[in-house]
Amino acid sequence: MATSTIPPGTPTTSTIIKLKVHFELNTPNGLRKVIFGLEKDATAGNVVSWSIDFQLFERSKKTDPWGDAIVTLNVDVDKQLFPKAEKASQGLTPGQSAHALGPAADDAKAAADGEIDQEEAQGTVQNTLKKK
């Protein structure tokens, strides 16, 4: 069996791989659902970017079918949160899930209703990554 070894000091290259995951989160009462999507992309020159695709669904009764999302937000993740986005892409923590279903969903809905600015809702959604 032939083996190949790379001599020490040989330059290597790395390639940034795109990544896209969606987490479907449901409240215990079954009336609210959030799809929290994370996407990692790379542009020319291996510049990495992360974004969040946030969708909120609500229904009146648990037996009702889910309709279309009542709110959809797309959020560009701040560069200092990239390590947290990378970790979250492997699975949200209970704190992150609770924040997405609670404060983030509430602010997304409030922004859709014109009660708060869209930027504030996007900030709350992005803050999901900071939760433990």
Q: What pLDDT, in 10s, does the model give residues 37-56?
A: 999 998 765 788 999 999 99
pLDDT in tens, 52-87: 999 999 999 999 999 999 999 999 999 999 999 999
SS3 at position 7: coil
The stretch 120-131 carries a mean pLDDT of 97
Q: Work out the number of other CB atoms within 10 angstroms of the CB of residue 73.
A: 21
Q: Classify 40 as helix, strand or coil.
A: strand
115 CA to centre of own chain: 23
Q: What are the E-state strand segments in 1-132? A: 19-26, 32-43, 47-58, 71-76
The domains of the chain are located at 19-130
Q: How confident is the model at residue 3 (pLDDT cuts 50, 70, 90)?
A: low
Give the torsion through C-alpha atoms of 118, 123, 124, 129, to 10 deg: 140
